[in-house]
Chain A
Amino acid sequence: MPTLTNRAKPVDRRPMTMMEKMYLPAIAKGMGITLKHFFTKKVTVQYPEEKRPFSPVFRGLHILNRDEEGRENCTACGLCAVACPAEAITMEAAERKEGEEHLYREEKYAAKYEINMLRCIFCGLCEEACPKDAIYLSETFAPSNYKRETFIYGKSDLLIPDPKKEPELYQQALGSRAKREGKKG
Protein backbone atom coordinates (compact mmCIF):
# COMPACT_ATOMS: atom_id res chain seq x y z
CA MET A 1 0.00 0.00 0.00
CA PRO A 2 1.39 3.43 -0.81
CA THR A 3 1.89 5.56 2.24
CA LEU A 4 -0.71 8.24 2.74
CA THR A 5 1.71 10.90 3.79
CA ASN A 6 5.40 11.33 3.32
CA ARG A 7 5.84 11.46 7.06
CA ALA A 8 5.60 7.72 7.77
CA LYS A 9 8.23 6.50 10.21
CA PRO A 10 9.50 2.92 10.37
CA VAL A 11 9.18 1.61 13.91
CA ASP A 12 12.29 0.48 15.74
CA ARG A 13 11.70 -2.97 17.27
CA ARG A 14 14.93 -3.40 19.22
CA PRO A 15 14.57 -4.15 22.95
CA MET A 16 14.42 -1.03 25.06
CA THR A 17 17.47 0.22 26.91
CA MET A 18 17.48 1.00 30.61
CA MET A 19 17.05 4.68 29.90
CA GLU A 20 14.08 4.06 27.65
CA LYS A 21 12.47 1.70 30.13
CA MET A 22 12.24 4.54 32.58
CA TYR A 23 10.04 6.36 30.05
CA LEU A 24 11.41 9.63 31.39
CA PRO A 25 12.76 10.96 28.10
CA ALA A 26 9.51 10.04 26.37
CA ILE A 27 7.49 11.84 29.02
CA ALA A 28 9.75 14.86 28.77
CA LYS A 29 9.31 14.89 25.02
CA GLY A 30 5.55 14.70 25.35
CA MET A 31 5.55 17.49 27.90
CA GLY A 32 7.75 19.46 25.54
CA ILE A 33 5.06 19.33 22.88
CA THR A 34 2.46 20.39 25.41
CA LEU A 35 4.67 23.24 26.57
CA LYS A 36 5.27 24.33 23.01
CA HIS A 37 1.54 24.80 22.58
CA PHE A 38 1.50 27.25 25.47
CA PHE A 39 3.46 29.64 23.32
CA THR A 40 1.78 29.13 19.96
CA LYS A 41 -1.02 31.36 18.75
CA LYS A 42 -4.34 30.49 20.32
CA VAL A 43 -7.12 29.48 17.97
CA THR A 44 -9.90 30.30 20.38
CA VAL A 45 -11.39 33.67 21.23
CA GLN A 46 -12.18 34.39 24.87
CA TYR A 47 -15.68 35.39 23.93
CA PRO A 48 -17.38 37.79 26.33
CA GLU A 49 -14.13 39.67 27.05
CA GLU A 50 -12.82 39.54 23.52
CA LYS A 51 -14.94 40.06 20.43
CA ARG A 52 -14.22 39.51 16.80
CA PRO A 53 -14.98 42.36 14.41
CA PHE A 54 -18.12 41.99 12.38
CA SER A 55 -18.35 42.29 8.64
CA PRO A 56 -20.57 45.07 7.28
CA VAL A 57 -23.02 42.52 5.93
CA PHE A 58 -23.49 40.63 9.19
CA ARG A 59 -27.12 39.80 9.86
CA GLY A 60 -28.00 40.09 13.52
CA LEU A 61 -31.01 41.51 15.34
CA HIS A 62 -33.01 44.25 13.69
CA ILE A 63 -32.84 47.96 14.15
CA LEU A 64 -35.45 50.52 13.15
CA ASN A 65 -33.51 53.43 11.81
CA ARG A 66 -33.87 57.17 12.31
CA ASP A 67 -32.61 59.94 10.05
CA GLU A 68 -30.01 62.53 11.12
CA GLU A 69 -32.63 64.62 12.86
CA GLY A 70 -33.83 61.73 14.93
CA ARG A 71 -37.08 61.14 13.07
CA GLU A 72 -38.29 57.63 12.44
CA ASN A 73 -37.82 56.53 8.84
CA CYS A 74 -40.47 53.86 8.73
CA THR A 75 -43.66 54.72 6.91
CA ALA A 76 -45.51 51.50 7.71
CA CYS A 77 -45.78 50.52 4.07
CA GLY A 78 -45.67 46.84 4.97
CA LEU A 79 -43.23 45.82 2.28
CA CYS A 80 -40.93 44.20 4.81
CA ALA A 81 -43.79 42.15 6.22
CA VAL A 82 -44.68 40.95 2.72
CA ALA A 83 -41.09 40.08 1.92
CA CYS A 84 -40.53 38.15 5.13
CA PRO A 85 -40.46 34.40 4.50
CA ALA A 86 -41.01 33.63 8.17
CA GLU A 87 -43.98 35.98 8.62
CA ALA A 88 -42.26 37.48 11.59
CA ILE A 89 -43.21 41.13 11.13
CA THR A 90 -46.50 42.76 12.09
CA MET A 91 -47.31 46.43 12.23
CA GLU A 92 -50.08 48.95 12.63
CA ALA A 93 -50.01 52.17 10.68
CA ALA A 94 -51.10 55.58 11.90
CA GLU A 95 -51.36 59.05 10.34
CA ARG A 96 -48.92 61.68 11.46
CA LYS A 97 -50.71 64.53 13.25
CA GLU A 98 -49.89 68.23 13.29
CA GLY A 99 -46.89 68.93 15.45
CA GLU A 100 -45.41 65.44 15.15
CA GLU A 101 -43.09 66.29 12.27
CA HIS A 102 -40.08 66.10 14.53
CA LEU A 103 -40.95 62.48 15.41
CA TYR A 104 -41.77 60.88 12.09
CA ARG A 105 -40.24 61.60 8.73
CA GLU A 106 -43.18 60.54 6.58
CA GLU A 107 -46.88 61.30 6.78
CA LYS A 108 -47.67 57.77 7.83
CA TYR A 109 -45.79 55.96 10.54
CA ALA A 110 -45.84 52.65 12.36
CA ALA A 111 -47.75 53.04 15.59
CA LYS A 112 -46.95 49.45 16.43
CA TYR A 113 -44.11 47.47 14.89
CA GLU A 114 -43.32 43.99 16.10
CA ILE A 115 -40.80 41.39 15.04
CA ASN A 116 -41.02 37.92 16.46
CA MET A 117 -37.38 37.04 16.90
CA LEU A 118 -38.20 33.40 17.44
CA ARG A 119 -39.75 33.17 13.98
CA CYS A 120 -37.18 35.29 12.22
CA ILE A 121 -34.59 33.39 10.21
CA PHE A 122 -32.29 36.41 9.77
CA CYS A 123 -32.37 36.31 6.02
CA GLY A 124 -32.19 40.05 5.48
CA LEU A 125 -35.09 40.22 3.01
CA CYS A 126 -36.85 42.90 5.07
CA GLU A 127 -33.78 45.08 4.74
CA GLU A 128 -33.70 44.46 0.99
CA ALA A 129 -37.38 45.27 0.64
CA CYS A 130 -37.48 48.49 2.61
CA PRO A 131 -37.68 51.55 0.36
CA LYS A 132 -37.08 54.00 3.21
CA ASP A 133 -33.85 52.65 4.65
CA ALA A 134 -35.79 52.11 7.83
CA ILE A 135 -34.87 48.61 8.86
CA TYR A 136 -31.41 47.17 9.31
CA LEU A 137 -29.99 43.94 10.53
CA SER A 138 -27.48 45.01 13.13
CA GLU A 139 -24.55 43.39 14.87
CA THR A 140 -26.36 42.37 18.01
CA PHE A 141 -26.85 38.65 18.22
CA ALA A 142 -27.64 35.89 20.69
CA PRO A 143 -30.29 37.62 22.78
CA SER A 144 -31.36 35.83 25.93
CA ASN A 145 -34.30 36.12 28.20
CA TYR A 146 -36.43 34.22 30.65
CA LYS A 147 -39.74 34.32 28.81
CA ARG A 148 -40.74 33.56 25.26
CA GLU A 149 -43.04 36.56 25.02
CA THR A 150 -40.10 38.88 25.45
CA PHE A 151 -38.75 37.75 22.11
CA ILE A 152 -41.53 39.57 20.34
CA TYR A 153 -39.65 42.81 19.94
CA GLY A 154 -41.73 45.96 19.89
CA LYS A 155 -40.76 49.41 18.79
CA SER A 156 -39.10 50.18 22.10
CA ASP A 157 -36.64 47.33 21.58
CA LEU A 158 -36.06 47.94 17.92
CA LEU A 159 -35.73 51.68 17.57
CA ILE A 160 -32.20 52.98 17.34
CA PRO A 161 -31.24 55.65 19.94
CA ASP A 162 -31.80 59.22 18.87
CA PRO A 163 -28.67 60.49 17.08
CA LYS A 164 -29.18 63.98 18.46
CA LYS A 165 -29.78 63.07 22.05
CA GLU A 166 -27.51 60.05 22.36
CA PRO A 167 -25.01 60.17 19.49
CA GLU A 168 -22.68 57.61 21.05
CA LEU A 169 -25.34 54.99 21.58
CA TYR A 170 -26.57 55.70 18.08
CA GLN A 171 -23.17 55.01 16.53
CA GLN A 172 -22.78 51.92 18.65
CA ALA A 173 -26.12 50.54 17.54
CA LEU A 174 -25.37 51.34 13.93
CA GLY A 175 -22.09 49.45 14.16
CA SER A 176 -20.07 48.80 11.05
CA ARG A 177 -23.26 49.24 9.06
CA ALA A 178 -22.43 52.92 9.10
CA LYS A 179 -19.49 52.18 6.83
CA ARG A 180 -21.68 50.53 4.29
CA GLU A 181 -21.95 53.48 1.97
CA GLY A 182 -24.20 53.66 -1.02
CA LYS A 183 -26.43 50.77 -0.14
CA LYS A 184 -29.58 52.71 -0.69
CA GLY A 185 -30.93 55.96 0.62
Chain B
Amino acid sequence: MYTETQIVHNNTKTTVDGALDGTGEMVINVGPQHPATHGVLHLVITLNGETIKKLEPHLGYIHRSIEKMCESLSYRQFIYVTSRMDYLSSHINNHACALTVEKGLQLEIPPRAQVIRVLMDELTRIASHELWWGAMAMDLGAFTPFFYAFRERETITDIMEETCGARLTMNYMVPGGVMYDIHPNFQRRVKDFITLFKSKIDEYNDLVTGNIIFQNRMKGVGKLSAEDAISFGCTGPVARGSGVKSDIRKLFPYEVYDKVEFDEILETEGDSFARYMVRIREMHQSVRIIEQLIDNIPEGDFQAKTKAVLKLPKGEFYTRVETARGELGVYIVSEGGTTPYRIKFRSPGFSNLSALEHMVVGSKLGDLMATMGTLDLVIPDIDR
Protein backbone atom coordinates (compact mmCIF):
# COMPACT_ATOMS: atom_id res chain seq x y z
CA MET B 1 0.00 0.00 0.00
CA TYR B 2 1.29 3.41 -0.86
CA THR B 3 0.56 6.45 1.23
CA GLU B 4 -1.36 9.45 0.00
CA THR B 5 0.94 11.80 -1.89
CA GLN B 6 0.24 14.91 -3.87
CA ILE B 7 2.24 16.03 -6.85
CA VAL B 8 1.89 19.58 -8.02
CA HIS B 9 1.69 19.66 -11.75
CA ASN B 10 0.58 22.67 -13.71
CA ASN B 11 -0.43 24.21 -10.39
CA THR B 12 -3.26 21.70 -10.29
CA LYS B 13 -3.35 19.24 -7.44
CA THR B 14 -3.41 15.61 -8.42
CA THR B 15 -4.61 12.74 -6.32
CA VAL B 16 -2.71 9.58 -5.78
CA ASP B 17 -3.72 7.92 -9.02
CA GLY B 18 -2.56 10.96 -10.97
CA ALA B 19 -5.98 12.29 -11.94
CA LEU B 20 -6.05 16.06 -12.28
CA ASP B 21 -8.94 17.49 -10.29
CA GLY B 22 -11.91 18.58 -12.31
CA THR B 23 -10.37 18.27 -15.75
CA GLY B 24 -10.82 14.60 -16.52
CA GLU B 25 -7.11 14.53 -17.24
CA MET B 26 -4.51 12.37 -15.70
CA VAL B 27 -0.74 12.44 -15.27
CA ILE B 28 1.31 9.32 -15.82
CA ASN B 29 5.00 8.70 -15.74
CA VAL B 30 6.68 6.74 -18.49
CA GLY B 31 10.09 5.82 -17.21
CA PRO B 32 12.67 6.35 -15.79
CA GLN B 33 12.48 2.56 -15.73
CA HIS B 34 10.50 1.66 -18.79
CA PRO B 35 11.50 -0.83 -21.48
CA ALA B 36 10.57 1.47 -24.36
CA THR B 37 12.58 4.48 -23.26
CA HIS B 38 15.83 2.52 -23.76
CA GLY B 39 17.49 3.92 -20.72
CA VAL B 40 16.57 6.22 -17.93
CA LEU B 41 14.41 8.74 -19.72
CA HIS B 42 11.50 10.03 -17.69
CA LEU B 43 8.46 11.32 -19.54
CA VAL B 44 5.68 13.01 -17.59
CA ILE B 45 2.60 12.73 -19.75
CA THR B 46 -0.76 14.40 -19.24
CA LEU B 47 -3.48 12.27 -20.75
CA ASN B 48 -7.09 12.83 -21.53
CA GLY B 49 -8.39 9.34 -21.96
CA GLU B 50 -5.86 7.91 -24.40
CA THR B 51 -4.94 11.23 -25.96
CA ILE B 52 -1.69 12.91 -25.06
CA LYS B 53 -2.25 16.51 -23.94
CA LYS B 54 1.20 17.35 -22.75
CA LEU B 55 4.54 15.64 -22.59
CA GLU B 56 7.48 16.70 -20.52
CA PRO B 57 10.82 14.89 -20.67
CA HIS B 58 12.70 14.95 -17.36
CA LEU B 59 16.40 14.55 -17.87
CA GLY B 60 19.43 14.03 -15.73
CA TYR B 61 19.08 10.51 -14.43
CA ILE B 62 22.34 9.47 -16.04
CA HIS B 63 24.17 12.77 -15.91
CA ARG B 64 27.83 12.04 -15.25
CA SER B 65 29.12 15.56 -15.89
CA ILE B 66 31.33 14.36 -18.70
CA GLU B 67 31.94 17.91 -19.92
CA LYS B 68 33.26 18.98 -16.54
CA MET B 69 35.28 15.82 -16.19
CA CYS B 70 36.95 16.46 -19.54
CA GLU B 71 38.24 19.79 -18.24
CA SER B 72 40.62 17.98 -15.92
CA LEU B 73 41.76 15.43 -18.46
CA SER B 74 44.49 15.85 -21.02
CA TYR B 75 43.76 16.00 -24.73
CA ARG B 76 44.70 12.37 -25.07
CA GLN B 77 42.62 11.19 -22.16
CA PHE B 78 39.34 12.99 -22.64
CA ILE B 79 38.60 11.18 -25.88
CA TYR B 80 38.16 7.92 -24.01
CA VAL B 81 35.53 9.33 -21.74
CA THR B 82 33.40 10.38 -24.70
CA SER B 83 32.91 6.75 -25.71
CA ARG B 84 30.46 6.69 -22.87
CA MET B 85 28.18 9.38 -24.25
CA ASP B 86 26.57 7.81 -27.26
CA TYR B 87 27.80 4.33 -26.61
CA LEU B 88 26.28 2.95 -29.80
CA SER B 89 28.45 5.15 -31.96
CA SER B 90 31.45 5.48 -29.70
CA HIS B 91 33.79 5.37 -32.67
CA ILE B 92 32.19 8.45 -34.12
CA ASN B 93 32.30 10.30 -30.79
CA ASN B 94 36.00 9.53 -30.51
CA HIS B 95 36.41 10.59 -34.09
CA ALA B 96 34.82 13.98 -33.47
CA CYS B 97 37.06 14.64 -30.47
CA ALA B 98 40.18 13.50 -32.28
CA LEU B 99 39.30 15.75 -35.21
CA THR B 100 38.90 18.76 -32.92
CA VAL B 101 42.26 18.17 -31.27
CA GLU B 102 43.87 17.69 -34.67
CA LYS B 103 42.31 20.92 -35.86
CA GLY B 104 43.88 22.72 -32.93
CA LEU B 105 47.25 21.13 -33.51
CA GLN B 106 46.96 21.56 -37.29
CA LEU B 107 47.93 17.97 -37.68
CA GLU B 108 47.94 16.13 -40.99
CA ILE B 109 46.44 12.67 -40.73
CA PRO B 110 48.04 9.90 -42.81
CA PRO B 111 45.69 8.72 -45.60
CA ARG B 112 45.66 5.21 -44.22
CA ALA B 113 44.32 6.40 -40.89
CA GLN B 114 41.67 8.50 -42.63
CA VAL B 115 40.34 5.55 -44.57
CA ILE B 116 40.40 3.26 -41.54
CA ARG B 117 38.50 5.87 -39.55
CA VAL B 118 35.81 6.22 -42.19
CA LEU B 119 35.47 2.45 -42.48
CA MET B 120 35.06 2.16 -38.74
CA ASP B 121 32.53 4.99 -38.68
CA GLU B 122 30.39 3.35 -41.30
CA LEU B 123 30.55 -0.04 -39.63
CA THR B 124 29.50 1.65 -36.42
CA ARG B 125 26.64 3.34 -38.23
CA ILE B 126 25.39 0.01 -39.54
CA ALA B 127 25.70 -1.59 -36.10
CA SER B 128 23.88 1.30 -34.49
CA HIS B 129 21.07 1.34 -37.03
CA GLU B 130 20.69 -2.39 -36.68
CA LEU B 131 20.32 -2.18 -32.95
CA TRP B 132 17.84 0.63 -33.42
CA TRP B 133 15.89 -1.46 -35.91
CA GLY B 134 15.63 -4.41 -33.54
CA ALA B 135 14.73 -2.28 -30.54
CA MET B 136 12.23 -0.24 -32.51
CA ALA B 137 10.41 -3.36 -33.73
CA MET B 138 10.41 -4.65 -30.18
CA ASP B 139 8.83 -1.42 -28.96
CA LEU B 140 6.00 -2.14 -31.33
CA GLY B 141 5.67 -5.68 -30.09
CA ALA B 142 7.63 -7.71 -32.63
CA PHE B 143 10.21 -9.78 -30.84
CA THR B 144 12.03 -11.72 -33.55
CA PRO B 145 13.62 -8.70 -35.29
CA PHE B 146 15.59 -8.01 -32.13
CA PHE B 147 17.39 -11.33 -32.48
CA TYR B 148 17.86 -10.89 -36.19
CA ALA B 149 19.42 -7.49 -35.63
CA PHE B 150 21.73 -8.72 -32.91
CA ARG B 151 22.83 -11.65 -35.02
CA GLU B 152 24.30 -9.38 -37.68
CA ARG B 153 25.44 -6.74 -35.25
CA GLU B 154 27.45 -9.39 -33.48
CA THR B 155 29.55 -9.84 -36.62
CA ILE B 156 30.43 -6.17 -36.53
CA THR B 157 31.30 -6.20 -32.83
CA ASP B 158 33.53 -9.18 -33.52
CA ILE B 159 35.33 -7.29 -36.25
CA MET B 160 35.68 -4.34 -33.90
CA GLU B 161 36.99 -6.51 -31.12
CA GLU B 162 39.62 -7.99 -33.36
CA THR B 163 40.99 -4.68 -34.55
CA CYS B 164 40.19 -2.25 -31.72
CA GLY B 165 40.43 -4.48 -28.66
CA ALA B 166 36.95 -3.86 -27.32
CA ARG B 167 33.44 -4.50 -28.47
CA LEU B 168 31.48 -1.43 -27.49
CA THR B 169 33.72 1.32 -26.16
CA MET B 170 36.47 0.93 -28.69
CA ASN B 171 38.73 3.89 -27.83
CA TYR B 172 40.37 3.35 -31.17
CA MET B 173 40.75 6.91 -32.44
CA VAL B 174 43.64 8.87 -31.03
CA PRO B 175 44.81 12.35 -32.00
CA GLY B 176 46.85 11.77 -35.12
CA GLY B 177 45.25 8.59 -36.37
CA VAL B 178 44.18 5.29 -34.91
CA MET B 179 45.60 3.34 -32.00
CA TYR B 180 46.72 0.14 -33.72
CA ASP B 181 46.95 -0.98 -37.30
CA ILE B 182 44.06 -3.05 -38.59
CA HIS B 183 44.07 -6.77 -37.94
CA PRO B 184 45.23 -8.88 -40.93
CA ASN B 185 41.77 -10.45 -41.10
CA PHE B 186 39.98 -7.13 -41.12
CA GLN B 187 39.46 -6.72 -44.85
CA ARG B 188 38.37 -10.30 -45.43
CA ARG B 189 35.93 -10.27 -42.55
CA VAL B 190 34.41 -6.94 -43.52
CA LYS B 191 33.90 -8.19 -47.07
CA ASP B 192 32.26 -11.36 -45.76
CA PHE B 193 30.04 -9.27 -43.59
CA ILE B 194 29.00 -6.99 -46.46
CA THR B 195 28.02 -9.98 -48.60
CA LEU B 196 26.01 -11.43 -45.76
CA PHE B 197 24.46 -8.16 -44.76
CA LYS B 198 23.14 -7.29 -48.20
CA SER B 199 20.92 -10.35 -48.22
CA LYS B 200 19.89 -9.65 -44.64
CA ILE B 201 18.52 -6.20 -45.38
CA ASP B 202 16.04 -7.86 -47.73
CA GLU B 203 15.11 -10.16 -44.91
CA TYR B 204 14.58 -7.17 -42.62
CA ASN B 205 12.30 -5.60 -45.18
CA ASP B 206 10.37 -8.85 -45.59
CA LEU B 207 9.99 -9.24 -41.90
CA VAL B 208 9.15 -5.74 -40.75
CA THR B 209 9.10 -3.03 -43.39
CA GLY B 210 6.59 -4.75 -45.66
CA ASN B 211 4.38 -5.82 -42.78
CA ILE B 212 0.99 -4.15 -43.08
CA ILE B 213 0.45 -3.90 -39.32
CA PHE B 214 3.81 -2.23 -38.96
CA GLN B 215 3.11 0.23 -41.76
CA ASN B 216 -0.30 1.09 -40.35
CA ARG B 217 1.25 1.88 -37.02
CA MET B 218 4.04 3.97 -38.50
CA LYS B 219 2.50 5.89 -41.34
CA GLY B 220 1.11 9.31 -40.54
CA VAL B 221 2.28 9.04 -36.94
CA GLY B 222 4.53 11.59 -35.26
CA LYS B 223 4.50 14.11 -38.08
CA LEU B 224 7.27 16.66 -38.11
CA SER B 225 7.33 19.30 -40.81
CA ALA B 226 10.58 20.51 -42.34
CA GLU B 227 10.22 23.96 -40.71
CA ASP B 228 9.66 22.43 -37.28
CA ALA B 229 12.57 20.06 -37.76
CA ILE B 230 14.81 23.05 -38.43
CA SER B 231 13.47 25.16 -35.58
CA PHE B 232 13.86 22.33 -33.07
CA GLY B 233 17.41 21.82 -34.28
CA CYS B 234 16.79 18.24 -35.33
CA THR B 235 19.59 16.57 -37.23
CA GLY B 236 20.37 13.20 -38.65
CA PRO B 237 17.70 10.76 -39.80
CA VAL B 238 15.03 12.71 -37.90
CA ALA B 239 15.62 15.84 -39.97
CA ARG B 240 16.18 13.90 -43.17
CA GLY B 241 12.89 12.10 -42.65
CA SER B 242 11.27 15.53 -42.91
CA GLY B 243 13.22 16.40 -46.03
CA VAL B 244 15.83 18.65 -44.44
CA LYS B 245 19.31 18.24 -45.88
CA SER B 246 21.48 17.81 -42.86
CA ASP B 247 24.10 15.18 -43.57
CA ILE B 248 27.36 16.59 -42.25
CA ARG B 249 29.25 14.08 -44.38
CA LYS B 250 27.88 15.91 -47.42
CA LEU B 251 27.64 19.48 -46.11
CA PHE B 252 30.99 19.70 -44.34
CA PRO B 253 32.96 16.68 -45.54
CA TYR B 254 35.70 15.45 -43.25
CA GLU B 255 38.33 12.75 -43.80
CA VAL B 256 37.65 11.05 -47.14
CA TYR B 257 33.90 11.56 -47.33
CA ASP B 258 34.29 13.98 -50.23
CA LYS B 259 36.08 11.30 -52.24
CA VAL B 260 33.56 8.50 -51.88
CA GLU B 261 30.26 8.25 -53.65
CA PHE B 262 27.11 8.00 -51.60
CA ASP B 263 23.70 9.62 -51.52
CA GLU B 264 22.17 11.67 -48.80
CA ILE B 265 18.90 9.92 -48.03
CA LEU B 266 15.89 12.20 -47.90
CA GLU B 267 12.25 11.34 -47.27
CA THR B 268 9.64 14.04 -47.33
CA GLU B 269 6.66 12.73 -45.36
CA GLY B 270 8.12 13.53 -41.95
CA ASP B 271 6.24 10.71 -40.24
CA SER B 272 7.63 7.78 -38.32
CA PHE B 273 7.72 5.59 -41.40
CA ALA B 274 9.81 8.17 -43.26
CA ARG B 275 12.36 8.26 -40.46
CA TYR B 276 12.34 4.48 -40.43
CA MET B 277 12.98 4.31 -44.16
CA VAL B 278 15.79 6.88 -43.95
CA ARG B 279 17.71 4.61 -41.59
CA ILE B 280 17.04 1.46 -43.60
CA ARG B 281 18.22 3.16 -46.77
CA GLU B 282 21.17 4.72 -44.97
CA MET B 283 22.46 1.27 -44.18
CA HIS B 284 22.65 0.62 -47.93
CA GLN B 285 24.67 3.81 -48.36
CA SER B 286 27.06 2.81 -45.57
CA VAL B 287 27.54 -0.50 -47.33
CA ARG B 288 28.29 1.43 -50.49
CA ILE B 289 30.94 3.54 -48.78
CA ILE B 290 32.56 0.49 -47.22
CA GLU B 291 32.62 -1.32 -50.56
CA GLN B 292 34.44 1.58 -52.18
CA LEU B 293 37.06 1.83 -49.46
CA ILE B 294 37.70 -1.68 -48.24
CA ASP B 295 39.98 -2.65 -51.11
CA ASN B 296 41.61 0.76 -51.30
CA ILE B 297 43.16 1.22 -47.89
CA PRO B 298 46.38 3.10 -48.70
CA GLU B 299 49.66 1.82 -47.36
CA GLY B 300 51.58 3.88 -44.88
CA ASP B 301 51.42 4.97 -41.28
CA PHE B 302 48.29 4.54 -39.25
CA GLN B 303 49.24 7.30 -36.86
CA ALA B 304 50.91 10.66 -37.35
CA LYS B 305 53.85 11.48 -35.13
CA THR B 306 52.64 13.47 -32.15
CA LYS B 307 54.30 14.83 -29.06
CA ALA B 308 53.84 12.88 -25.85
CA VAL B 309 52.08 15.84 -24.24
CA LEU B 310 49.60 17.62 -26.46
CA LYS B 311 49.07 21.35 -26.04
CA LEU B 312 46.44 23.16 -28.02
CA PRO B 313 47.12 26.81 -28.84
CA LYS B 314 44.94 29.46 -27.21
CA GLY B 315 41.66 29.69 -29.03
CA GLU B 316 38.36 28.02 -29.77
CA PHE B 317 37.92 24.95 -31.93
CA TYR B 318 34.75 23.40 -33.22
CA THR B 319 34.17 20.35 -35.39
CA ARG B 320 31.08 18.46 -36.31
CA VAL B 321 30.58 14.95 -37.51
CA GLU B 322 27.60 12.87 -38.49
CA THR B 323 26.93 10.17 -35.93
CA ALA B 324 24.27 7.53 -36.40
CA ARG B 325 21.85 9.89 -34.68
CA GLY B 326 22.75 13.20 -36.22
CA GLU B 327 25.16 16.04 -35.81
CA LEU B 328 27.66 15.80 -33.00
CA GLY B 329 29.58 18.98 -32.37
CA VAL B 330 32.65 19.24 -30.19
CA TYR B 331 33.63 22.68 -28.99
CA ILE B 332 36.89 23.18 -27.17
CA VAL B 333 38.08 26.40 -25.59
CA SER B 334 41.80 26.27 -24.97
CA GLU B 335 43.90 28.54 -22.83
CA GLY B 336 47.07 27.05 -24.24
CA GLY B 337 47.49 24.41 -21.57
CA THR B 338 47.44 20.65 -21.60
CA THR B 339 43.80 20.39 -20.61
CA PRO B 340 40.78 22.07 -22.18
CA TYR B 341 39.51 25.20 -20.45
CA ARG B 342 35.94 24.42 -21.40
CA ILE B 343 34.46 21.70 -23.49
CA LYS B 344 30.97 21.41 -24.87
CA PHE B 345 29.29 18.64 -26.78
CA ARG B 346 26.36 19.35 -29.01
CA SER B 347 24.65 16.01 -28.94
CA PRO B 348 22.05 15.04 -31.53
CA GLY B 349 19.77 13.22 -29.09
CA PHE B 350 18.99 16.29 -27.00
CA SER B 351 17.65 18.36 -29.89
CA ASN B 352 15.80 15.43 -31.37
CA LEU B 353 14.12 14.74 -28.06
CA SER B 354 12.97 18.34 -27.78
CA ALA B 355 10.81 17.79 -30.85
CA LEU B 356 9.04 14.84 -29.27
CA GLU B 357 6.30 16.80 -27.51
CA HIS B 358 5.45 18.62 -30.70
CA MET B 359 5.23 15.33 -32.56
CA VAL B 360 2.98 13.43 -30.20
CA VAL B 361 0.60 15.94 -28.63
CA GLY B 362 -2.89 15.11 -29.79
CA SER B 363 -2.12 11.53 -30.73
CA LYS B 364 -2.81 8.36 -28.80
CA LEU B 365 -0.52 6.97 -26.14
CA GLY B 366 0.30 3.95 -28.30
CA ASP B 367 1.68 6.22 -30.99
CA LEU B 368 4.20 7.60 -28.53
CA MET B 369 6.24 4.41 -28.77
CA ALA B 370 6.04 4.39 -32.55
CA THR B 371 7.33 7.97 -32.57
CA MET B 372 9.92 7.78 -29.84
CA GLY B 373 11.38 4.64 -31.36
CA THR B 374 12.14 6.44 -34.58
CA LEU B 375 13.99 9.22 -32.75
CA ASP B 376 16.62 6.62 -31.82
CA LEU B 377 17.36 8.16 -28.45
CA VAL B 378 20.40 7.14 -26.48
CA ILE B 379 19.92 8.60 -23.03
CA PRO B 380 23.58 8.86 -21.92
CA ASP B 381 24.09 10.97 -25.01
CA ILE B 382 21.33 13.36 -23.95
CA ASP B 383 22.38 13.69 -20.30
CA ARG B 384 26.13 13.24 -20.75
Q: Please determine whether A85 and B166 come into contact, CB atoms closer than 8 angstroms.
A: no
**Residues in chain B near residue A5, CB distance under 8 A:** 202, 205-206, 210
Q: Contact between A124 and B171 (Cβ–Cβ < 8 Å)?
A: yes
Please name all residues of chain B whose beta carbon is closer than 8 Å to the beta carbon of A59 when the two chains form the complex. 165-166
Q: Is the CB of B163 within 8 A of A121?
A: no
Q: Which residues of B have CB within 8 Å of A55?
A: 161-163, 165, 183
Q: Is A19 part of the binding interface, using a Cβ–Cβ cutoff of 8 Å?
A: no
| Separation of A52 and B161 alpha carbons in the complex (Å) | 11
B260: Cβ under 8 A from any A Cβ: no
- Interfacial chain B residues near A85, Cβ < 8 Å: 73, 77-78, 80-81
Least Cβ distance of A183 to chain B in Å? 10
Q: How far is the CA of A125 from the CA of B83 in the complex (A)?
A: 14
Decide: A121 and B205 in contact? CB cutoff 8 A: no
Task: Report the minimum CB–CB distance from B160 to chain A (whole Å).
Answer: 10
- Is the CB–CB distance between A58 and B165 below 8 Å? yes
Q: How far does the Cβ of A136 sit from chain B's closest Cβ, in whole Å?
A: 12
Does chain A have a CB within 8 A of B164? yes
Q: Please, how many residues of chain A have a CB less than 8 angstroms from a CB on the other chain?
A: 22
**A residues at B contact (CB < 8 Å):** 3-8, 43, 52, 54-55, 57-59, 83-85, 121-125, 137
* Chain B residues within CB distance 8 Å of chain A: 73, 76-78, 80-81, 83-84, 151, 154, 158, 161-166, 169, 171, 179-180, 183, 202, 205-206, 209-210
Query: Which residues of chain A are within 8 angstroms of B158 by Cβ–Cβ distance?
Result: 52
- A121 to B80, Cβ gap below 8 A? yes
Q: Contact check: which of A3, A4, A54, A57 meets B164 at CB < 8 Å?
A: A57
The answer on a CB contact under 8 Å between B77 and A125 is yes
Contacts A5-B210, A7-B206 hold; do A57 and B165 have CB atoms under 8 A apart? yes
A124 touches which of B78, B162, B179 (Cβ 8 Å)? B179
List, in ascending order, chain A residues with CB within 8 A of B183's CB: 55, 57
Known contacts A43-B151, A123-B80: A4-B210 contact under CB 8 Å? yes
A45 nearest CB neighbor, chain B only: B154
A4 touches B205 (CB 8 A): yes
Closest to A183 in B: B180
Q: Write the chain A residue with the least CB distance to B147.
A: A43
Contacts of B76 in A (CB 8 A): 83, 125
Q: How far is the CA of A54 from the CA of B164 in the complex (A)?
A: 11
Please, how many angstroms separate the alpha-carbon atoms of A24 and B171 in the complex? 55
- Say which residue of A7, A43, A83 sits within 8 Å of B77 (CB atoms): A83
Given A5-B205, A43-B154, A57-B180, verify A125-B166 contact (CB < 8 Å). Answer: no
Not counting A6-B202, A52-B158, a sample of 18 additional A-B residue pairs whose C-beta atoms are within 8 angstroms of each other reads: A5-B205, A5-B206, A8-B210, A54-B161, A55-B162, A55-B183, A57-B163, A58-B165, A59-B165, A83-B76, A83-B77, A85-B73, A121-B81, A121-B84, A121-B171, A122-B166, A122-B169, A125-B77
- A117 and B69 CA atoms in complex are apart in Å by 19
* A–B pairs, 27, beta carbons within 8 Å: A3-B210, A5-B202, A7-B202, A7-B206, A8-B210, A43-B151, A43-B154, A52-B158, A55-B161, A55-B162, A55-B163, A55-B165, A83-B76, A84-B77, A85-B73, A85-B78, A85-B80, A121-B80, A122-B166, A122-B169, A123-B80, A123-B171, A124-B165, A124-B171, A124-B179, A125-B76, A137-B165
